[in-house]
Amino acid sequence: MKAYSKSAKKTYEYPNDCRETIKIDKKIRDDISKFCRERKIRKSQLVENFYKSILIKFRDGSLNVSSGYITLNVFSK
């Protein structure tokens, strides 16, 4: 399935985008949505950075050394 978005003049395609579905407690979802909205944080970018951090630390071997701890700057743009 191709991801795309339409504007008045052009259609944009995102061939490498996909949708991730997770099961999470509704209260947590609502609270994080409110938090992100108030601070103008894109949740998709937050999750993408989290996944990238895991993969980078796993590939360079520091994930095992740190016992699985990952530091993530939530407020980075």
Residue 6: pLDDT above 80?
A: no
Domain that holds residue 17: 3-65
Task: Give the residue with greater pLDDT, 2 vs 63.
Answer: 63
Q: How many domains does the chain have?
A: 1
26 in a structural domain: yes
75 in a structural domain: no
**Residue 4's pLDDT band (boundaries 50, 70, 90)?**
low
| pLDDT tens digit sequence for 13-71 | 778 888 889 999 999 999 999 999 999 999 988 999 999 999 999 999 998 888 999 99
9 in a structural domain: yes
Contact 72, 50 (CB under 8 A): yes
pTM given for the model: 0.73
39 in a structural domain: yes
Residue 1: pLDDT above 60?
A: no
DSSP string computed for 14-73: ETT---------HHHHHHHHHHHHHTT--HHHHHHHHHHHHHHHHHHTHHHHTTT-----
72 in a structural domain: no
How far is Cα 63 from Cα 61, in angstroms, rounded to an integer?
A: 6
